[in-house]
Structure formats: structure tokens, C-alpha cells
Structure 1
Amino acid sequence: MGRKKIKQIYRKIKQYNTIVIARHIGPDPDSISSQIALRDVILNTFPNKKVYAVGYPASKFKYLGSLDKFHDEMYEDSLLIAVDVPGKARVDGVNPDLFKETIKIDHHPFVEEFCNIEWIDDTASSTAQMIIELIFKTKLKITKEAAEKLFVGVIADTNRFLFYYTTTKTLELISKLIKKTNIDFTNLYENLYLRPLKEVKFQGYIINNLQVTENGLGYIKLSDEILKEYGVDPASSGNMVNDFNYIEEMVAWVILSEDRNTNNIRGSIRSRGPIINEVATHYNGGGHIYASGVRLKSDEEADSLIKELDQVCLEYKQKGSAESNLDELKLEGK
């Protein structure tokens, strides 16, 4: 199925002179690196095409390259490629319904069909991994710069190959990417993990104010005033959610950041066991079973989310305890 979809996508890329590449709202390194690298690779292969990577800019990821400003004229007779976004409502900056044809490339679990061609692989570690596969299985011409961006996308979404969805295919594609382009990943790691002192201090604030329930849910609410005090935007605070995987007392955790620009609360959720994406779908969000995001309209919704996640943590612990007791009974019966 994947190979057939890849051929269809490549044919559409060849067919259209104007291509717009969008991603999800609330960008992360995977989504931005995927759209910018794909834009650059298409332009490297077909220099006469007009290809744009669009969406709300995020200064935190400016090292991955610049985005293009979208104009309504770009809708005319053009192809949309939506990367790393499972649902139409989460596409940033454009209306998918206004393009002549649309393509989705995504590694999230299926949410809805909104494109003419949809290549979904929820076994892939990242959308960047899927873009690498698309390049290697077609005649698209990669550059070293595009390869570096895609490397960052994979590294970020797997947390340096730590997360469970890192597979042999992931490592094989990364190995091929490095061998083919001779990328220097020392500088890439620096760009991804070096932080200004204000963010490190902000991380300390989170640690000192994090609440942990008896059921193992960690959570913190960050007001606009706190974010401004530390000079951190909501996107940056949400991305810090990956920094707390090491806390023994937590099985799931959520960072809730007030966003005055959109008048909502952005939530980033992670888990070491409880399934969280089903809860996220109740709150204008979604994602993977252990990594999801939400957009909330009020403090009441935030409190409701915390209660629901805490219940999921409780059920997870109860299930683990029941399975442990069953194993003990089996051993006693031998």
C-alpha cells in the first residue's frame, strides 16, 4: 500500500506547477522539518516549479529554515501537501477545500479523510521518516541541507531513538540518509538541544511547581504572566514536555500553557504507559497513544482534562496491579 501511495504522490508532484506544503498548528521540529525539506527537495528536482512551505512561523525553529508567506492566489490550480496533520481542522494557515487537489502524508493514527490521496503510516517514527522514504523510492533529488532537516525531524520525534516507535526501518533509513549525504549531526544536535538560560530557568520553575497526583499524573498550568516573566512562548513551553520522561513518580504528564494570541490553552501530553490520545480527542486534540496535544477553551476544560487523565492513570495502575497478582497466582500454582 505504501509503495502505491508513494508512486501516486510523486506523479502529482510532477503534474502540478504550483505546490503548497502545510502542516499542523502548533509546529514542532518534525512538522517544520518535513515541510521545509520536502519543499527544498522538490525545488531541487524541479527548479521551474513554484513550491511554498506555509504556516504560522515559530522563531524557536528558525534554524530549520524559513517559511513562505501564503497568498490567496496560491489556491488557484495548485496542489496541497499536508504533512504531519491527521485532521482538516488542524491544518495551519490554509483551507484544504480550496485547492484543486490535496495529499496527506502523516504518521498519526487515522482521524479523518480530507485529502484526495492519503498516505498514513502510524508505524513510522515521524513524518520526516516518511519524507525520507518518499525521496529514496522516487526520483526526487535530496540535498545535504534537506537531509539535515529530516534528520532533526526524526531525532526530535523519537527523542534520539528513545521512544517505542523507533524501528529497524527508522534506523535503516537514517543510516542510508547519513551515508548518502554525509551530514554533520554534531551541529544539528546543538541546534536541537542547546537552550538559552531563560529556558533552563523556566524548566526549573516547572520542576518546582509541578503537581503529581496519587495515580501518577503530573501536571502544571502556566499562565500568560508566567510565560512572559521567563520570556517563553506557549510553543516553547509545550515542547518542554519531553524533558520530564525521567520522573519515577509519573506515568503520564501534561503541560498546559495559556496562549493569549489564540485565546486558548495549549496542552502537551506524554505518557509511559496509559493511552492518552483517546482522551485528547475529547478536547480538540489528538496524536499518538503516548504523545498527544490539545487545545482548550477555558480553565474548566483544563480541570476536566486533568481529571480525565488522572482516571486513565488510575486504570492503568489498577490493570498493572491486577496482572501482577495474576502472575503471582500462576507461579504459586506451579
Structure 2
Amino acid sequence: MFKKIYKEIKKYNTIVIARHIGVDPDALASQLALKESIKLTFPKKNVYAVGNGSSKFSYMGRLDKLEEFDNFLLIVLDTPDKKRIDYKDYSKARQTIKIDHHPFIEDFGGLEYIDDSASSTCEILMELLLNTKLKCNSEIAKLLYYGLVSDSNRFLFDSSTSKTFSLVSTYLSKYPLKLSSIYTNLYLRPLKEVRLEGYISLNMKVTENGVAYIILTNDIITKFKADSASAGNMINNFNFIDEVLVWIIVTEDVKNNNVRVNIRSRGPEINKIAEKYNGGGHAMASGARLSSIDEAEALISDIDYATENYIKKEMSKNENN
């Protein structure tokens, strides 16, 4: 499949690279890395990385403002379903390539490479570059490392496999990187965000089944001079609470007129519930979009019910062993 993807990239003079709404490091880094790789390999091609960005990730690079084009190749990264593509003109593409590490939801109608065992879309792109004539350099390797480290939560998730470490080893051997600066860019935070995280710790509620949750209204987010995206991205900072199996951060996003939900789990699978609420993702890490704060109660209730059933099943297994 990598050879087929390369063949399509070689064929088109204009290429648009898109990803999912709600930018995160893996989505953005994979976009920018693939763009730079194609430009390095084919300098005369017009390649655009599109979508709404975030100043939080400005250290990775800038996205492009796109004019309308005909006869272009669209490459969609890190996105399992069409409704989550952060590019309104995706249906105008002459050909579409989908590269993703989320569980399959729907066909995009073109070439598709999906590996839901991969830690990140950046991990898949590492393979793509190694198995085709697409070129790489230290800056591209750094972008790929940003995305892989972030989506694997610094190699803490089970999606970090021997293949993941082998690819990282290969790239670090070819392209020595200053890892300390990479981790500083990814995890250095302003004091206002640290204070908001403290507020979350003090005010989160925990159900009897071990579901921790907090609803951050726009007033709360504004009080700490933060934004909805940075508040939601704090979800991975609450991994290791002994009494908690699932944790949820609900944030009101006034700018985009919706409500973001970030969900993580150490027990029940949560992606099917997220899909019910205009979202999706991985079994243990998902997100959703609500039209109002009022919907959050139903989502939390569904997750709490799933967690209760998970606990019962685990107890039953232990009794039978």
C-alpha cells in the first residue's frame, strides 16, 4: 500500500493535506511532516497543510490558507470519519488518500491505510518514508517524533510496541535529535494552565464506579486566562489516580460554539460511547463534541454505566479464576 500511496503523490501537482478538527500534536505534526517530505522530494509540487491551528503548537510550523483548486490530491491524516475532517472542500478532491491509526469508521472512497495498532499517525508516516522514495531530514524527523511521543503519552500507552521503539531507534540513528528541547516544547506550560490544573484536581467529582469528571464553563476557563483547547489537553495529566478508572474533562468552547469532551480510560472501552456523541477515537482515549453543556450529563451517565458493567465483569472473571 505504501508504494500505491507514493505513486498517487507522484502523480498530482497539487496536494492538500488535512486532518481532524480539534488540532493535537500527532495530527498537526503528521500534516507538516508529510508536507515537508513531499516538498523535499518533489520541489515543484504545490503542497498545502490546511485546517484550524493553535498558537499552542506554533513551534511545529504554520498551516496554509488555501485557495480553491481543481484536480488535486487530498491526503487526510489521523481522521476516521468524514464529519471530523477539518477541511470543508474535501469532497472536491480528484483522489483521496486516508492514513490513520484510529479504528475504522467509514470509507473515504480512495486509497486507505489504517493501522489501529500503531501508536500514532506519525508512526505510520515513519514507515511510509522508510518504505518509499519520500525524503526525510532532521526537521521532518523531529516533527514525526513530536507526534509519536505525544499520542503515545511518552510511550506510556500499550500502543507503544516493539515496532514503535524500532522505528524511533532507526530515526534517531539517522537523524540525531535534541530530545530535551522536544520534550520542553511539548510539555512546558504557562503558570495559568498549572493553576487551572490545580482547580480541576480540587473540583473534579468521582462517581461510585470510579468515573472522574469536571465541567469547565467558559467563565471558569476565562477566569484562569486559558482556552478550551488547552484545558481539554490536560486530560493526560490525570492518568494515575488510584480510585479512578475513567476521567473526563468537559470544556465549553464559545469560539467554536460547541462543547469539547476529552475522555481517557484504564478500564472500559469508551470510543463507542464517544461516537454516540459526535466523536470517536481509540478504545482508551477518545473525544466528543456536544451542542450544549446540558448534554454532558447524559454522556457522563453512559460512561458511568459502562464502567459499572466493566467492574462487574472483572469481578466475575476473578471469582471464576
CA RMSD, 1 decimal: 0.8
Shift of 1:115: 3.5
Q: Percent identity?
A: 50
Instruction: Indicate which of 9, 14, 38 corresponds to 1:13.
Output: 9
CA distance in 1, matches of 2:88, 2:35: 16
Does 1:287 find its partner at 2:305?
no
CA distance in 2, matches of 1:312, 1:206: 23
The answer for the alignment partner of 2:66 in structure 1 is 70
Does 1:56 find its partner at 2:39?
no
- Corresponding residue SS for 1:44: helix
Shift of 1:95: 2.5
Instruction: Indicate which of 218, 222, 226 corresponds to 1:224.
Output: 218
**Paired AA for residue 203 in structure 1:** E
Does 1:24 find its partner at 2:29?
no
Instruction: Indicate which of 99, 102, 115 corresponds to 1:121.
Output: 115
Does 1:233 find its partner at 2:227?
yes
**Paired AA for residue 83 in structure 2:** A
The answer for the alignment partner of 1:158 in structure 2 is 152
- Map 1:93-132 to 2 at 5 A: 93-132=87-126
The answer for the alignment partner of 1:330 in structure 2 is none
In structure 1, the gaps of 5 or more residues are 328-334
CA distance in 2, matches of 1:265, 1:140: 39
1:125-158 deviation line (CA, Å, top 9, x unaligned)? 1000001110000011101011001101000011
Does 1:169 find its partner at 2:157?
no
Instruction: Indicate which of 244, 251, 260 corresponds to 2:254.
Output: 260
Are 2:30 and 2:77, in contact at CA under 8 Å, matched by a contact in 1?
yes
**Paired AA for residue 50 in structure 2:** V
The answer for the alignment partner of 1:331 in structure 2 is none
Are 1:26 and 1:235, in contact at CA under 8 Å, matched by a contact in 2?
yes
Shift of 1:93: 2.5
The total of aligned residue pairs comes to 321
- Corresponding residue SS for 2:74: strand
TM-score (norm 1): 0.95
**Paired AA for residue 78 in structure 2:** D
CA distance in 2, matches of 1:94, 1:30: 21
1:10-53 deviation line (CA, Å, top 9, x unaligned)? 00110001000000000110000000010011101111100010
- Map 1:304-323 to 2 at 5 A: 304-323=298-317
**Paired AA for residue 16 in structure 2:** V
- Corresponding residue SS for 2:76: strand
Instruction: Indicate which of 43, 46, 67 corresponds to 2:42.
Output: 46
1:306-334 deviation line (CA, Å, top 9, x unaligned)? 0000001111111111111112xxxxxxx
Instruction: Indicate which of 127, 137, 145 corresponds to 1:143.
Output: 137
- Corresponding residue SS for 1:132: helix
CA distance in 2, matches of 1:233, 1:262: 11
Instruction: Indicate which of 256, 272, 279 corresponds to 1:278.
Output: 272
1:42-90 deviation line (CA, Å, top 9, x unaligned)? 101111100010100111111111111122x23x110000000000010
Does 1:34 find its partner at 2:23?
no
CA distance in 2, matches of 1:127, 1:150: 9
Shift of 1:97: 1.0
Shift of 1:300: 2.8
CA distance in 1, matches of 2:277, 2:52: 22
CA distance in 2, matches of 1:301, 1:276: 17
Are 2:49 and 2:64, in contact at CA under 8 Å, matched by a contact in 1?
yes
- Corresponding residue SS for 2:304: helix
The answer for the alignment partner of 1:188 in structure 2 is 182
TM-score (norm 2): 0.99
